[in-house]
Amino acid sequence: MEKYIIGGGKRLYGSVDVASAKNAVLPLFAASVLTEKRVTIRGVPAISDALCMAQILRELGADVRFRGEDVIVDSANAHSHEIPPSLTRELRSSVFMLGSLLTRFGCARIAYPGGCDIGLRPIDLHLNALKQLGVSISEQGGYIFCRCGRIRGAEILLDFPSVGATENILLAAVKAEGTTVLQGAAKEPEIVDLQNFLNAMGARVSGAGGDVIRIEGVKQLGGVNYRPIKDRIEAGTYLMACAICGGETEVRGVSAENIGLLLHKLRENGCKIHTKNDKIRIESDGRLVCNRRIETMPFPGFPTDLQAQATALNCGAHGSALIVENLFETRYKYVPELQKMGADIEVKGRSALVRGAGRLHGASLVAGDLRGGAALVLAALGAEGVSEVLDLSYIDRGYADMQGKLRKLGAEIKRVRV
């Protein structure tokens, strides 16, 4: 096990390049099974979730090779429609494989997916949509069994704009017989990226980024050489780090449109934000004012994956903030760790009232999930004294070389073995 040792109170200056988006890369791994041709995904971040997805593909019989930051997938010899439970329970995104496996093999067998413990995250939307495409589904002993003849296009209406369900439907319907019309689709930039990836393979998908996506089934897909979009959540994390610590930082690689509401909230905190092309520059004196209210919503609303970091920011600001988490019911598990640092947070149901405590103090902290772990790092960077953050396995799921990027900005942070 490893931990971060963080000395708080250092201002951050300089620039940081954002990696490819975790939430874009993982569905592309799943999509690579749809073709027997070679697929190259460029600029894959060195995160554990990507390594887990690569291992899943290998278990299916695919050849997966890493060449620097590029991943080359050859699924010509893929033969298995089963994913070992040890991998599905480690990674939530393994659920994307249902649509891909059904398209490729006409059947799939996976254990219920795992990942961070931030709520129930049921996959009923996924399964109901697959049934409408003609898939028969049975569940037994913690496993999901799916089987179909030819997937047939259908009109599908999602009760909630689930990102995972939207992506799974795209993967299942891309080679279906006829046309699938998906209404109530998720609008996240990662959905648009998956559409672009599939179309580069020869698919006929349109409408991503809007409420309705149209998927005209094709008979076959080819290879592709593709670079995913950059990670808006990583960008937001480093912008908030500078806001908390004070300083001036430029985050490079992300469109301001993809994190527009966060930038509005940072201005509300008292930061100066400048945007140009794919560069976002933040100036902060470290004396922040609390946001009055932050409420997580599907895109283009405030991202649930930035909620914990925003809470950490408000803990050291002046005033009070109400944080409302609408997507995952147990996403406040990190709060007791912030309270060790002197944070004044009162949680009731899906709401958290944060009373700005001024500067927090250092403490020994334990990461319990990916974004909660990032929030603890941000709080420690702005705190008085030295903190340690243990169990970096969660943070490693979504952030490549976090300590290196923060050190480049002037943070006092090092990674050591426990």
pLDDT at 119: 39
- Say whether both 14 and 64 belong to one domain: no
Tell me which residue of 93, 85, 104 sits closest to 33, measured CA to CA: 104
Catalytic residue among 52, 116, 146, 290: 116
pLDDT at 122: 65
- Say whether both 195 and 248 belong to one domain: no
Give me the number of domains the chain comprises: 2
- Say whether both 201 and 221 belong to one domain: yes
Residues 372 and 333: beta-carbon distance below 8 Å: yes
pLDDT at 92: 66
- Say whether both 234 and 301 belong to one domain: yes
- Say whether both 164 and 99 belong to one domain: yes
Residues 301 and 261: beta-carbon distance below 8 Å: yes
Average pLDDT over residues 164-191: 97
In the chain, % of residues over pLDDT 90? 87
- Say whether both 222 and 236 belong to one domain: no
pLDDT tens digit sequence for 4-35: 999 999 999 999 999 999 999 999 999 999 99
Taking all residues of the chain, what is their mean pLDDT, rounded to a whole number? 94
In the chain, % of residues over pLDDT 70? 97
Helix (H) or strand (E) holding 72: strand 70-74
CA distances from 242 to 7, 261, 272, 282, 303 (A): 15, 17, 11, 7, 19
- Say whether both 11 and 53 belong to one domain: no
- Say whether both 202 and 293 belong to one domain: no
pLDDT tens digit sequence for 287-318: 999 999 999 999 999 999 999 999 999 999 99
- Residue 94 main-chain phi, psi, to 5 deg: -60, -20
pLDDT tens digit sequence for 73-120: 999 999 999 988 888 777 766 777 899 999 999 999 988 765 444 333
- Say whether both 315 and 196 belong to one domain: no
Q: Give the CATH number for residue 368.
A: 3.65.10.10
- Say whether both 138 and 7 belong to one domain: no
116 is catalytic: yes
Q: DSSP string spanning 181-235?
A: EEES----HHHHHHHHHHHHTT-EEE-TTSSEEEEE--S----EEE-PPB-HHHH
CA distances from 53 to 223, 234, 329 (A): 19, 20, 26
Average pLDDT over residues 363-384: 97
What are the residues whose beta carbons fall under 8 Å from the beta carbon of 333, sequence distance 6 or more?
Answer: 117, 118, 368, 369, 372
CA dihedral 207, 210, 211, 217 (to 10 degrees): 20
Among 226, 241, 258, the domain boundary falls at 226
- Say whether both 48 and 128 belong to one domain: yes
pTM for this model (two decimals) = 0.95
pLDDT at 116: 42
Among 226, 242, 271, the domain boundary falls at 226
Which range marks the domain in which residue 147 is found? Answer: 22-226
- Say whether both 265 and 363 belong to one domain: yes
